């Protein structure tokens, strides 16, 4: 079953970074602390004026392709890894 979260790009003092919604109007830079939704509609209901977008959580893909040629697959997800693994 697909899972969803809310994320936003913001400058948090170290340049633009992805931040994740934790719930109760709080955000975090830690991917593992994001609030998880079972339905996209539930996540969409929690969007507010600050912004952000609803994102489908990544799933591990053993056949991931390095689309930009930098040697990393599934970049920006918890499954990010060098192409050799």
Written as tens digits, the pLDDT of the chain (85 aa) is 679 999 999 887 888 999 999 999 899 999 899 999 999 999 999 987 777 999 988 888 999 999 899 999 988 787 889 998 6
Rounded Cα gap, residues 77 and 82, in angstroms: 13
- Residue 58 Cα to chain centre, angstroms: 8
For residue 40, what pLDDT is reported? 93
Rounded Cα gap, residues 3 and 43, in angstroms: 10
- Residue 73 Cα to chain centre, angstroms: 15
Give the angle 39-45-47 at the CA atoms, nearest 5°.
115
Q: In 12-75, at which residue ranges do the beta strands (DSSP E only) sit?
A: 16-23, 26-28, 53-56, 72-73
Tell if the pTM clears 0.75, that is, is over it. no
């Amino acid at each position: 079953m697909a899972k969803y979260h809310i994320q936003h790009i913001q400058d948090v003092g170290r340049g633009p970074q992805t931040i994740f919604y934790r719930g109760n109007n709080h955000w975090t830079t830690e991917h593992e602390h994001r609030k998880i939704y079972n339905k996209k509609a539930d996540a969409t209901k929690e969007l507010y004026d600050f912004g952000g977008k609803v994102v489908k959580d990544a799933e591990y893909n053993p056949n991931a392709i390095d689309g930009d040629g930098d040697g990393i697959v599934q970049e920006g997800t918890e499954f990010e890894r060098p192409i050799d693994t």
